[in-house]
Amino acid sequence: MSAAAILDLGKIPSKVNPELQSERDCSSLTPYISEITAIVDGGRNNTEKRRQIERILFKDPLFRDCAIDSVYKPRDEMYARGVERSVRLFALKEEYNWTDEEFGIAVYVINHQYSLGLHTVMFIPALERLSTEQQKAKWLHLARNYQIIGTYAQTELGHGTNLQGLETIATYDATTEEFILNTPTVTSIKWWPGALGKSVNYAIILATLIIDGKKHGMHPFLTPLRSTEDHKPLPGVKVGDIGPKLTFNTVDNGYLILNNVRIPRENMLMKNAQVSREGHFTSRGPSKANYSAMILVRVTIVNWCSVILSNSSTITVRYSAVRRQSTLDSSSEKESKILDYQTQQYKVFPSLATAYALFFVSKTLKNRYLKTYAEIMKGNFKNLPEIHCQSAGMKALSAEMTVELLEISRQACGGHGYLAASALGDAVASAKALVTVEGENTVLYLQVARYLMKRFAAAVSGERLSGSTEYLCMDPIKYSCPINSPGDCMNVSLLCQVYRFRAYRMISKAARMLQRDIEGGKKQHKAMNDNLVQLVRAARAHLLYCMMVDYKESMNQLQISVPVSKALNNLLVFFTVFNIVKNAGDFLETESIGLPQMEWLKETEVKMLAEIRPDAVSLVDAFDIHDNTHGSVLGCYDGNVYERMLKSTQNEPLNQCDVHYSFHQHLKPFLQRNNTSKL
């Protein structure tokens, strides 16, 4: 089809690009794609459920055009469309009686291009986890039926992860049985809550409780912000939007200033702590129980990272199978597919492997969280520190990996990856938000490190450990590298032993450095600050070991066909080896491996690229991501990249007229002046 026909008729060739079709025809995995899709979806019934939701949503232009809106519309229109989509989604949830899980699928299908996500992601979960049964009876049905719309307001302008430093205060007035909420300083202003700027009428506000001048820590307070009649801010409330971000501009992240805002005593969410009418404070369980909603979001972020990488891998692998550049064989007249270049594979396949790794890891982490949460609801807080450590650390590690790999994926698509219509730039910017949202990564790593120092001290004192830190009781003298031949580099169980010893040595080194400084006369806080870099390295090592174990064990539980097992195991081996080679210095320094083993691992890493190559397109096809979900002109199923790129220019506002008004206002007078002066 000619370029003119594409522009004039708006048509894309109906056939699949032969370049992409040949990949599918040559892959032995193609007949088994649906099997992998069922694994990703959690069963064939869930696959059909997702596809049914896709059919419902994408017959509506409001959802079908999400990608176009995010590229070509100004922010106020993007926000308005995001609110419209939110309302339509809520209506569809009621119309089709979607469960919370099915609604989550709908949000995934439209790639989170709506405005009121915090209502379901944090506001309702916080009500469920932080309220008493009486409070749930009063508030939950209002939130679930969208009679009120809420957000979760924790972060302040001057305080993010340091929750103990929050300056927003809630002072109890026993004479009126009310809490008085204030943001007394500039740094205490609530800043960043999603949907706060223009949308919500309620917020769960995290504030420091003060009774008779005494502070009682941070607690949640359900606070009305806007009138339910005309949506205007209530007395004492000043609220607005914080302005455009790098991405997610369908969401009105906001600021909130509170000046003597009074709420009833019953509006303090009292699942974990109570204030009586007389002003007596009592607590139930550790203070970290108030973070349960935040822990859930951190667990969810690991899954989001997997989804983002699945989208980007689909785009980059398909594009790399279509794009031809130069030749591998000088005698060939046809340029080579860039996916055939080993260097391109080394850019693209780590992202693909990590997408699958984080899928399995997030699934395991979610199950672990649900088990711990059920225990907490029964009053058993024993495993809360462990899940707090795991969720914080895995959120940090997965976000860090995702940002790095996404930028490499964008570069792997060359100049076309720089186009907004590729969707890769937006994906990079979106992932960068995950580095700081729900806890800045470095701070979270240090939370993990502090937990590890406590567990290591317990192990040294003779305590028998369990959970993710059980290995800290090992005897390092008994370790010898289990890789004794090149073939051992394919054995993930052996490689996990290497990861475990590296983590042990880095944690023990951090502990020794701390002990040395403290025994040398440094105060504890000074000793900690002087060893933060090593502590972060130790935390990463522990988390990467945990990630490998969870990935391997999740894979071992699958009952799958031989071709699928082979393809997924190739990714598992590559992911495991790739991250050893990437962190070669640590593994060598800790004597987890020697130089010969490192050479074998590097050879295995390159070997695995060739093993993955024949099935790369099938492996991204197995994600079964709808073209309207990833929203990229480069990554559609039909592979008609160049036709879609050309057609996308029709959506550019600059192309809606032959001559732009700026020509008449600026360029024409300039040209005329120059021509006149030369005459």
61 three-class SS: helix
Distance of CA 330 to the CA centre of its chain: 44
- Measured CA to CA, the distance from residue 352 to residue 350 in angstroms comes to 5
What residues in the chain have per-residue pLDDT under 50? Answer: 9
- Measured CA to CA, the distance from residue 54 to residue 56 in angstroms comes to 5
- Measured CA to CA, the distance from residue 209 to residue 325 in angstroms comes to 63
Of the candidates 433, 439, 426, 470, the one whose C-alpha atom is nearest the C-alpha of residue 452 is 470
**In the chain, ranges of CATH 1.10.540.10 domains:** 28-114
pLDDT number for residue 473:
95
Provide the Cα torsion 582, 587, 593, 599; round to 10°: 30
- Measured CA to CA, the distance from residue 239 to residue 231 in angstroms comes to 12
- Measured CA to CA, the distance from residue 629 to residue 616 in angstroms comes to 20
**In the chain, ranges of CATH 2.40.110.10 domains:** 150-284
- Measured CA to CA, the distance from residue 245 to residue 129 in angstroms comes to 30
- Measured CA to CA, the distance from residue 363 to residue 383 in angstroms comes to 18
For the four alpha carbons of 434, 439, 442 and 448, in that order, the dihedral sign comes to negative
- State yes or no: 30 annotated in a binding site: no
Residue type, 634: L
- Measured CA to CA, the distance from residue 172 to residue 181 in angstroms comes to 9
217 three-class SS: strand
**In the chain, ranges of CATH 1.20.140.10 domains:** 293-462+491-619
- Measured CA to CA, the distance from residue 320 to residue 303 in angstroms comes to 25
Strands 169-173 and 237-241: unpaired
| Superfamily designation of domain 293-462+491-619 | Butyryl-CoA Dehydrogenase, subunit A, domain 3 (1.20.140.10)
Q: Half-sphere exposure of residue 127, counting CA atoms within 13 Å on the CB side?
A: 26
Of the candidates 311, 315, 305, 303, the one whose C-alpha atom is nearest the C-alpha of residue 339 is 315
**Burial label, 629 (beta-carbon count in 10 A; 0-12, 13-18, 19+):** buried
Q: Which residue matches tokens 């060359």?
A: 414
How many CB atoms within 10 Å of residue 667?
Answer: 12
* Catalytic pick among 23, 128, 178, 438: 438
pTM, to two decimals: 0.92
- Measured CA to CA, the distance from residue 517 to residue 399 in angstroms comes to 32
- State yes or no: 155 annotated in a binding site: yes
Q: Are 171 and 180 in contact (CB under 8 A)?
A: yes
| Cα angle value 108/251/219 (rounded, 5°) | 95
- CATH of the structural domain 28-114, one choice from 1.10.3720.10, 1.10.1040.10, 1.10.540.10, 1.10.1240.10: 1.10.540.10
Residue 243 gets the label, from left (phi > 0), alpha (psi -120 to 50) or beta, of left
Two structure tokens written together for 535: 């502590």
**Catalytic residue check, 553:** no
**Fold adopted by 150-284:** Butyryl-CoA Dehydrogenase, subunit A; domain 2 (2.40.110)
Distances (CA, A) of 260 to 182, 204, 670: 5, 16, 58
pLDDT number for residue 669:
92
Q: Are 145 and 157 in contact (CB under 8 A)?
A: no
For the four alpha carbons of 357, 358, 359 and 360, in that order, the dihedral sign comes to positive
